[in-house]
Amino acid sequence: MRNIKINKKINLLKLITILLFLIITVRITDIQIFKNDYYIDKYKDTYKYVYSLTAPRGRIYDRNGILLVDNEKINVIRYSNINIKTSDEEKIALKVSKILNEDKNEILKRMRSGYSFDLKTIKENPSAEELKQISELKYDCLIIDFEWVRSYKTKYFLKMFGTVGNIPYEKKDYYLKEGYSLNDKVGISYIEEAYDEILKGKKDKYILKNNKYILVNEAVNGNDIYLTIDIKLQEKVEKILESEIKKAKKEPNTKYYDHSFVIVSNPNTGEILAMAGKKIVDNKFVDITPEILTTTIQGGSSVKGASQIVGYQTGALKIGEIRRDFCIKLKNMNAKCSWKSLGLINDLEALKYSSNSYQYQTAIKLGQGKYSYNKILKLNPQSLKKYRDIFKEFGLGVKTGIDFFESTGYSGNKSNSELILDYAVGQYDTFTPIQFSQYINTIANGGNRLKPKLLKSYNLKNMNILTKVKSLNSLTVEKEYLDRVKKGLKMVMEPGGTGFSYIPSKYKAAGKTGTSTSYLDLNHDGIVETPATSNIFVGYAPYDNPVVSFTVISPNVKLAYTNSTYKTAVNRKITYEVAKNFFEIYK
């Protein structure tokens, strides 16, 4: 009896299974045979709108309306596989491969890539003869189309324009959320990437009708942008860099010197008027301007303006205080001295003549230390934090806020007494060239740390939108202290000062020179161990009403220890020529 019940259940399951398979079979037959055309039309309707490969992006101008980057239309051969059988596709690919002189399989790979009803690109920028022969095939599936590419009207500032390309895989989720399609072309570096949302245009829109694509909406240009860059000044700066670097390479002790950076800025707005980095490689110049945002270097004496502020603000230094310049000798360490014995000097003269000893004494007082010759010096480790906190207010050791990827520099994690002394004279942490520019701008404009700007304005819906000056913070130091430092920086540029002859005296500049230690990997073992000398200059003019700031950096101008004492003056020469040309343009 029990076996009979089991058999009935098994038979029932078999019947249900057969019925299910029968229903599925009928359904598949209905879809694939009787209603095949209906569902194909439905699928086509889903993808009935197709867009062109690219749209014309907004043009890029300099601050004076000079066109720098435009668009150029190039022809492309595209393919539509609507109602094309596999066998026909093989024949078409063979004919196309012969015209384009390419492997048939490569052509097939392009015809079968992407989504089924997408238009596929077979070749960009074909020759006139190739276009003629393709059109003579008279295949509706082969379409002569076009796309937009960037056209450059200048050879200067090229690296910073960036590039346009396919959406990077690692950023696809971001772009999809922003409403982009995965086959869109986007800005993938520097200006093109930073302002892609403004520059991107709207692509041609096609509708699928009677197995043909018909244009329904023409492409719309992206919005134009105007940079803060003065391309005429930029050209001058780049030429000066190449000329002075080339001349310096003929001088002694310059074997390892090969590049310099320049930033010319408006300290009252943060606008960058010119920005360039040049490196000589095998007697040819390479554009390394983007490294202004990422390369790091110790500031040397160029940061003494900020160091002096630390002293005033913490009470470790009094305005007008007179001190004797002498070498600081700690136990088991080499003596720490100024570049020469400067005798009795006050706080202004300490900046004018660039006294290291004066800054060491401030750091010792700040750290509540007691100095004795050749003895151990103990300083409050919090002293380093006090220095760093005020330096950051100037933009040293923090991101500047510029609209591109930037480095913050190296911040050491040790805080012994010697390192605190080193920090006070710019020989510990490292900073980027753009940070030095922000630092001197903050001093020049009276205490506002402004975001560096490369975008001046842009056109949006027939409106010209001027980007605003953005203050990131104001100095928390007393005005009299900042004014005192500015007076000292003015004296730096006068006869006897370390910055004299860096900028023509008639332009009444203020500034600070710096010499720091960098390290080279001469053994190519991945370890930097050979010390070299680097030069830094930061300054502004006129000192009583600044309209411009200059930051000039030349790393590795000399190995630290050589038999010869000769050191190239390339940093001074670059600064002088850049300043002279700026004022010739902006009379």
Give strand pairing partners of 536.
514, 553
Is residue 289 within 8 A of residue 461, CB to CB? The reply is: no
Rounded to 5 degrees, φ, ψ at 82 are -65, 130
* Preceding amide of 267 cis, omega within 30: no
Joined together, the tokens standing for residue 297 give 């270097």
Give dist(CA 446, CA 422) in Å, integer: 27
Work out the end-to-end distance of the chain between its first and last CA atoms, rounded to an integer number of angstroms.
114
Write the DSSP string, 207-256.
EEETTEEEEEE--B----EEES--HHHHHHHHHHHHHHHHHHTTSTT-TT
Burial of 206 (0-12, 13-18, 19+ CB in 10 A): buried
Give dist(CA 326, CA 361) in Å, integer: 10
Q: Which residue has the tokens 């000062």?
A: 497
Rounded to 5 degrees, φ, ψ at 49 are -100, 130
Task: Measure Cα distances from 439 to 360, 426, 448, 472 in Å.
Answer: 21, 13, 10, 12
Catalytic annotation, pick one of 189, 301, 354, 534: 301
Is residue 77 within 8 A of residue 134, CB to CB? The reply is: yes
Give dist(CA 226, CA 243) in Å, integer: 29
3-state secondary structure of 190: helix
The CA dihedral of 140, 142, 144, 149, to the nearest 10 degrees, is 140
Joined together, the tokens standing for residue 465 give 């939108």
Joined together, the tokens standing for residue 95 give 């004919």
Give dist(CA 346, CA 353) in Å, integer: 10
Q: Which residue has the tokens 């059109």?
A: 135
Is residue 302 within 8 A of residue 359, CB to CB? The reply is: no
Give dist(CA 89, CA 239) in Å, integer: 55
Annotated catalytic residue 301: yes
Task: Measure Cα distances from 110 to 93, 107, 302 in Å.
Answer: 10, 5, 57
Q: Which residue has the tokens 């601050």?
A: 63
Catalytic site positions: 301
